[in-house]
């Protein structure tokens, strides 16, 4: 048999073997380079002194520097202070002690772009030891979007926790506060039933003298019956006001908002004019300073301020004339309004609680359902606003309301 002639692909010829191995190696290297270059993650290699040796395209996109601007400089250029200054120390410590904080582990760190903005990133670092020395490969992923989603989720969870607490309060009130008038109604209905039985007995008893029966029935009607009916009606009124409170509260979340530029001078003046009778009757002096405008829903913001003015009158101190001052100032992007009174004040431990549904400091002394401030808080939250309190018992209270300032073009 004729020997097979050697050709360019003949592996039995040493030169050909080397040539094809080189081709394969080049091909592998080209593939590997393309893989690194087109990777979505940023890939960087640094030497043991922290100097950048190579970066891929994603690194340029992520940090806003070109490869030329990065290669040859210390990796700490991509970190904000204090990590920037500390990085050399980290690397040195690892090289001396072999104890790794990030190498081989990976963690979330903060990166800094060329324009100085910072962003969260996941970083994993691997170490490579070659004859030429050791170097490190970092794989970086911008996790801004994931962090934003996490924060949004955390915020939603917080809102959900608050709503859950609110719901628990409502259930508590429904089972407790609604129950006490109900118990009264039940008790006095039984009394009424007993009184009616007595009256029927007197009417049906032929042996009782009609004049004496009439006198006794009159006494029962004026006494037990009258009293029972009064308590029953008071219980019904209380249940009615609590139930309409529930209704008002539940409607609030569904009411449509019409946010516009609000002339607060006109709005507050209008509210005070509508309260004229009540203010004059209680001998209240009101000062309204020049109020900056803000963005809000006129009707609902009006409801907040009516409630605050109403409370300032309702919870005035005994023994001194009631004075109310309304003022406001622009604070950055917000306008902060103050409704100040010299009333009975609220102790510090109740400052947060009075914004809870149905929470009242003195139930029974002044009329109310403990809903006004929780409704005010809900209204303001829906308009990206806030409400809080500064107060001292016996001195007075200041309710602060923050609403977004006027946006250009509004
Ligand atoms: P309501 O007035 O119907 O009780 P609010 O929610 O408006 O309901 O107020 C809750 C509680 O906060 C009140 O019961 C009162 O104890 C306290 N409060 C509100 N405003 C003032 C104020 N200006 N001064 C003192 N206490 C106040």
The arithmetic mean of pLDDT across residues 289-302, rounded, is: 96
Would you state the pLDDT for residue 15? Answer: 60
Using an 8 Å Cβ cutoff, are 309 and 380 in contact?
no
Two structure tokens written together for 2: 């004729």
Q: 96-110, 228-242, 300-314, 350-364 — which is least confidently predicted?
A: 96-110
Separation of CA 381 and ligand 1 centre (Å): 19
Q: If you average pLDDT over each of 99-108, 181-190, 340-349, which comes out highest?
A: 340-349
Of 20-24, 121-125, 144-148, the one with minimum mean pLDDT is 20-24
| Per-residue pLDDT at 190 | 95
The residue with greater pLDDT, 253 or 148, is: 148
Mutating to test ligand 1, I would choose from 304, 316, 318, 373 the residue with most ligand atoms within 8 A of its C-beta, which is 373
342 touches ligand 1 (CB under 6 Å):
no
**pLDDT reported for residue 5:** 45
Torsion sign, CA atoms 94, 95, 98, 103: positive
Residue to mutate (ligand 1; options 169, 315, 342, 401; most atoms within 8 A of CB): 315
The pLDDT, as a whole number, for residue 40 is 87
Backbone angles phi, psi at 187, to 5 degrees: -60, -50
367 in ligand 1 pocket by Cβ < 6 Å?
no
- Residues 147-168 have a mean pLDDT of 89
Average pLDDT of the segment spanning 150-179: 84
Q: What region does 106 belong to: left with phi over 0, alpha with psi -120 to 50, or beta?
A: left
Higher pLDDT, 368 or 312: 312
Cβ of 317 closer than 6 Å to ligand 1, yes or no, is no
Nearest one of 109, 33, 114, 47 to 75, comparing CA atoms: 47
* Residue pLDDT, tens place only, 96-135: 777 666 666 678 889 999 999 999 999 888 888 877 778 8
Q: Where do the DSSP E strands lie in 5-117?
A: 42-47, 52-55, 107-112
Q: Between 337 and 378, whose confidence is greater?
A: 337
Ligand 1 pocket member 264 (CB < 6 A): no
Closest approach atom of ligand 1 to CA 374: 6
Ligand 1 centroid distance, CA of 210 (Å): 55
Q: Are strands 285-288 and 323-331 parallel, antiparallel or unpaired?
A: parallel
pLDDT at 307 over 90: yes
Q: Which residues of 200-239 are buried (b: 16+ CB within 10 A; e: fewer)?
A: eebeeeeeeeeeebeebbeebeeebbeebbebbeebeebb
Which ligand 1 atom is nearest residue 343's CA?
Answer: 24
For residue 345, which atom of ligand 1 is closest to its CA?
25
Task: Identify the pLDDT of residue 171.
Answer: 80
The pLDDT assigned to 359 comes to 86
- Taking the CA of residue 363 as reference, the ligand 1 atom at the shortest distance is 14
Instruction: Indicate if ligand 1 lies below 6 Å from the C-beta of 396.
Output: no
Q: Is 370 in the pocket of ligand 1 (CB under 6 A)?
A: yes
Give per-residue pLDDT as tens, 81-95. Answer: 877 776 667 777 777
In order of 192, 207, 231, 338, the CA distances from 216 in angstroms are 15, 14, 22, 62
Whether ligand 1 lies within 6 angstroms of the CB of 372 is answered as yes
pLDDT of residue 239: 87
Q: Is the pLDDT of residue 13 over 60?
A: no
Tokens of 219: 């006494």
Ligand 1: does its nearest atom lie under 6 Å from the Cβ of 385?
A: no
- Determine if ligand 1 sits within 6 Å of the CB of residue 402: no
Residue from 360, 374, 398 whose mutation best tests the ligand 1 pocket (most atoms within 8 A of CB): 360
Sheet containing 285-288: order of strands: 285-288, 323-331, 334-341, 396-404, 386-392
In the chain, the percentage of residues whose pLDDT exceeds 90 is 56
Q: What is the pLDDT of residue 6?
A: 44
Which pLDDT score, from 0 to 100, does residue 101 have?
A: 67
In the β-sheet with 42-47, what is the strand arrangement from edge to edge? 52-55, 42-47, 133-142, 118-130, 107-112
* pLDDT for the residue numbered 12: 53
Taking a C-beta distance cutoff of 8 angstroms, is the pair 119, 111 a contact? yes
Least confident span in 16-25, 153-162, 327-336, 390-399:
16-25
User: Is residue 263's pLDDT more than 90?
Assistant: yes
Q: What is the pLDDT of residue 8?
A: 45
The residue whose two tokens read 């002394």 is 365
At residue 14, the pLDDT reads 56
Ligand 1 centre and the CA of 163: distance in Å?
Answer: 21
For residues 374 and 265, the answer to whether their CB atoms sit within 8 Å is: no
Range ranked top by mean pLDDT from 102-106, 134-138, 250-254:
134-138
pLDDT at res. 7: 44
Model pLDDT, residue 175: 76
What is the pLDDT, as a whole number, of residue 34? 84
- pLDDT on residue 4: 44
- DSSP string computed for 139-163: EEEE-HHHHHHHHHHHHHHHHHHHH
Does the beta carbon of 397 sit less than 6 angstroms from any atom of ligand 1?
A: yes
Is there an atom of ligand 1 within 6 Å of 398 CB?
no
State whether the beta carbon of 343 lies less than 6 angstroms from ligand 1: yes
Phi (first) and psi of residue 341, to 5 degrees = -135, 165
Of 35-44, 261-270, 352-361, which has the strongest mean pLDDT? 261-270
Residue 159: Cβ within 10 Å count: 11
The residue-averaged pLDDT of 364-382 equals 88
| Cα 167 to Cα 161: distance, rounded to the nearest angstrom | 10
CB atoms within 10 A of CB 28: 10
Ligand 1: does its nearest atom lie under 6 Å from the Cβ of 310?
no
Cα separation, 235 vs 87, whole angstroms: 72
Rounded to the nearest whole angstrom, what is the distance from the C-alpha of residue 369 to the centroid of ligand 1? 9
Task: Kindly state the average pLDDT of the residues 223-228.
Answer: 90
Between the CA of 152 and the centroid of ligand 1 the distance, in Å, is 33
pLDDT of residue 118: 95
344 lines ligand 1 (CB under 6 A): yes
CB 407 within 8 A of CB 294: no
Q: Does 3 have pLDDT greater than 70?
A: no
Give the C-alpha separation, 252 to 231, whole Å: 32
String of DSSP letters for 226-275: HHHHHHHHHHHHHHHHHHHHHHHHHHHTTSPP-EEEE-HHHHHHHHHHHT
Contact 361 CB / ligand 1 (< 6 Å): yes
Helix (H, G, I), strand (E, B) or coil at 51: strand
């Amino acid at each position: 048999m004729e020997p097979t002639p050697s050709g360019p692909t003949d592996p039995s010829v040493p030169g050909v073997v080397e040539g094809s191995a080189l081709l394969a190696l080049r091909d592998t290297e080209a593939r590997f380079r393309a893989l690194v270059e087109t990777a979505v993650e940023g890939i960087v290699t640094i030497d043991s002194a922290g100097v950048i040796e190579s970066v891929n395209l994603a690194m340029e996109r992520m940090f806003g520097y070109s490869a030329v601007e990065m290669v040859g400089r210390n990796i700490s250029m991509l970190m904000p202070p204090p990590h920037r200054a500390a990085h050399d120390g980290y690397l040195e410590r690892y090289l001396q002690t072999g104890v790794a904080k990030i190498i081989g582990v990976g963690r979330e760190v903060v990166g800094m772009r060329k324009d100085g903005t910072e962003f969260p990133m996941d970083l994993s670092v691997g170490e490579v030891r070659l004859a030429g020395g050791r170097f490190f490969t970092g794989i970086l992923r911008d996790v801004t979007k994931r962090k934003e989603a996490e924060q949004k989720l955390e915020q939603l969870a917080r809102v959900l926790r608050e709503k859950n607490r609110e719901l628990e309060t409502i259930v508590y009130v429904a089972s407790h506060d609604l129950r006490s008038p109900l118990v009264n109604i039940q008790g006095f209905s039984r009394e009424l039933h007993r009184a009616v039985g007595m009256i029927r007995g007197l009417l049906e008893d032929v042996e009782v003298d009609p004049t004496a029966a009439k006198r006794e029935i009159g006494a029962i009607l004026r006494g037990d019956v009258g009293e029972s009916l009064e308590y029953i009606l008071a219980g019904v009124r209380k249940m009615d006001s609590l139930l309409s409170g529930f209704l008002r509260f539940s409607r609030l979340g569904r009411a449509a908002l019409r946010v516009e530029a609000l002339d607060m001078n006109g709005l507050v003046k209008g509210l005070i004019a509508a309260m004229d009778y009540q203010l004059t009757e209680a001998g209240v002096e009101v000062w309204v300073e020049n109020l900056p405008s803000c963005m809000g829903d006129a009707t609902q913001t009006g409801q907040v301020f009516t409630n605050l003015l109403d409370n300032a009158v309702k919870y005035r101190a005994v023994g001194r004339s009631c004075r109310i001052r309304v003022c406001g100032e622009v604070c950055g992007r917000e306008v902060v309004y103050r409704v100040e009174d010299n009333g009975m004040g609220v102790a510090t431990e109740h400052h947060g609680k009075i914004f809870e549904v149905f929470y009242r400091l003195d139930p029974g002394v002044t009329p109310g359902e403990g809903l006004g401030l929780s409704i005010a808080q809900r209204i303001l939250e829906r308009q990206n606003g806030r409400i809080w309190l500064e107060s001292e018992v016996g001195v007075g209270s200041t309710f602060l309301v923050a609403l977004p300032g006027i946006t250009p073009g509004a």
